[in-house]
Amino acid sequence: MKSIAIIYGSSTEHTKEAAEKIAELLADYSPTLADIYDGDDEPFKTHDVLILGVSTWGVQDLQDDWNDFYPKLEQIDLSGKTVALFGMGDASIYPSSFVDAIGILYEIVVKQGATVIGHVSPEGYDFEYSRALVDGQFVGLPLDDDYEPELTEERIVNWVEQLKPHLS
């Protein structure tokens, strides 16, 4: 079984709560849960699968802790790693930059050699533009706890099921 790290940055606890729900659903895989605030790059080096959680702040801005960690991430070789991304956004107030932070992390992890899994159809999401939309699919799981909290759990459950075949 592959070793899994769920690494998140959370300013309002929404991303942390989503990370904890993902960890709960993946309990059989014994994932490590880590807050990027700690600045520790060890999980990136010691785990096979990295599930990264980030929220978008404003227009195309990473959550503060991810922003601080980004220069380290640019130096980490992710060749052979499998990465799944999830993130919080606000499609109502920021419809033209919905979950852009997922796209920002996607771009760097691909550049650093990772294989990204967990793409999601944009069907059912109401937004204008997203940097996380590549070839007609979100490159990770978008969540909007501000305006669609009733959809969060179902979206996480479905996404985790999609990831499981890649975790053995």
Cβ–Cβ under 8 Å, residues 102 and 139: yes
* Reported pTM: 0.97
Which range marks the domain in which residue 140 is found?
Answer: 4-166
CA neighbor of 56 nearest in space, from 135, 156, 129 = 129
pLDDT value at 1 more than 90: no
| DSSP string for 44-60 | HHH-SEEEEEEEEETTT
Number of domains, the chain: 1
- Measured at the alpha carbon of residue 47, what is the angle toward residues 41 and 52, in degrees to the nearest 5? 65
Q: What is the CATH number of the domain that holds 158?
A: 3.40.50.360
Q: Is 134 exposed, middle or buried (0-12, 13-18, 19+ CB in 10 A)?
A: middle
CA neighbor of 73 nearest in space, from 108, 97, 42 = 108
Each residue of 93-137: pLDDT tens digit? 999 999 999 999 999 999 999 999 999 999 999 999 999 999 999
